[in-house]
């Protein structure tokens, strides 16, 4: 059974690392061993964290620091946790350089986009002309809108569908796509909903939350199956 490291969120009120249990349950259902990676340490620690696992999952959470993609902070952008940003960006780059498969969700999707030159719309409602309410945070597992998967992409191959229904719990979105990445799914309003590498590296990133949908959607479950199988070297 492969070990999948899940980068933890941070609870500022209780001063502790935490993680929604849906990520753990989804990986267990896929046959993986989840290992939560707490926030803290330095680059030496973070490298050892990445070396200890077979694959990585980067979950949702607070907005990343806009300074990391060269923009001033918008008033509606969350107060960033720069230690979490620095830790996850280091682990993400290290994993990609060393061929470890990774799945990035929501915030993780946005981090991947900004790893090399990508940027974000810091608040969809104020910056994007769309009729879709993407920031439906209270509807954990609701089908909010459809996404169209790009034929021939790794995502389309893994999910086995041309279109899927997704939840939508984000107020930021991709503006400029990062270097080496291609969009592999779009919302009806044209918003980028998934990313992967053009060179075929074992990496999938989605803006929605499949960990809240895996029990009712076989297509969403296949994302966690893929990560588990890729970590075993069988994808």
pLDDT per position as a tens digit, 172-209: 999 999 999 999 999 999 999 999 999 999 999 999 99
CA gap 106, 78 in Å, rounded: 14
Torsion angle (degrees, nearest 10) of CA 113, 117, 120, 122: 130
**Average pLDDT, stretch 53-73?**
98
pLDDT recorded at residue 16: 93
CA gap 29, 23 in Å, rounded: 10
Q: In what order do the strands lie in the sheet with 102-105?
A: 33-37, 3-7, 55-58, 102-105, 203-206, 192-197, 181-186, 145-149, 163-166
8 Å CB contact between 164 and 208: no
> Which residues are catalytic, by number?
106, 209, 211
Instruction: Give me the domain span that covers residue 104.
Output: 3-232
| Other C-beta atoms lying within 10 Å of the C-beta of residue 75 | 7
CA gap 157, 149 in Å, rounded: 10
N residues, the chain: 235
pLDDT recorded at residue 117: 97
CATH of residue 64's domain is: 3.40.50.880
Which helix (H) or strand (E) segment is 108 a member of? helix 107-114
| Nearby residues of 185 by Cβ (< 8 Å), 6 or more positions away | 147, 148, 149, 150, 153, 155, 192, 193, 194, 206
pLDDT recorded at residue 82: 96
**Average pLDDT, stretch 25-49?**
98
Q: How does pLDDT run across 64-114, given as a tens digit for each residue?
A: 999 999 999 999 999 999 999 999 999 999 999 999 999 999 999 999 999
Token couple for 46: 């973070």
Identify the CA nearest to 192 among candidates 141, 130, 103. 130
Tally of structural domains, the chain: 1
| Nearby residues of 57 by Cβ (< 8 Å), 6 or more positions away | 4, 5, 6, 7, 23, 27, 102, 103, 104, 105, 108, 227
**pTM for this prediction:** 0.97
> 153 falls in which pLDDT band (50, 70, 90)?
very high
pLDDT recorded at residue 55: 98
Element counts in the chain: helices (H) and strands (E): 7, 13
| Other C-beta atoms lying within 10 Å of the C-beta of residue 180 | 17
Q: Is the pLDDT of residue 235 over 70?
A: no
pLDDT recorded at residue 100: 97
């Amino acid at each position: 059974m492969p070990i999948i490291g899940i980068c933890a969120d941070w609870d500022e009120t209780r001063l502790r690392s935490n993680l929604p249990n849906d990520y753990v349950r989804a990986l267990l259902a896929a046959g993986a061993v989840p290992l939560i990676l707490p926030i803290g340490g330095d680059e030496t620690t973070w490298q050892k964290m990445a070396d200890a696992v077979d694959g990585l999952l980067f979950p949702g959470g607070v907005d990343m620091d806009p300074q990391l993609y060269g923009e001033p902070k918008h008033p509606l952008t969350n107060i960033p946790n720069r230690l979490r940003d620095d830790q996850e960006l280091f682990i993400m780059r290290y994993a990609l350089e060393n061929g470890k498969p990774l799945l990035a969700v929501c915030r993780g999707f946005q981090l991947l986009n900004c790893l090399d030159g990508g940027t974000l719309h810091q608040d969809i409602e104020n910056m994007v002309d769309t009729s879709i309410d993407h920031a439906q945070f209270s509807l954990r597992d609701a089908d909010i809108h459809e996404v169209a998967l790009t034929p021939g992409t790794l995502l389309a191959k893994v999910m086995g569908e041309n279109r899927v229904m997704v939840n939508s719990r984000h107020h930021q979105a991709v503006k400029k796509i990062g270097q080496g990445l291609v969009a592999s799914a779009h919302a009806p309003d044209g918003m980028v909903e998934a990313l992967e590498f053009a060179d075929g590296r074992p990496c999938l990133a989605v803006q929605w939350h499949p960990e809240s949908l895996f029990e009712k959607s076989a297509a969403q479950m296949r994302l966690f199956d893929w990560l588990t199988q890729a970590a075993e070297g069988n994808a």
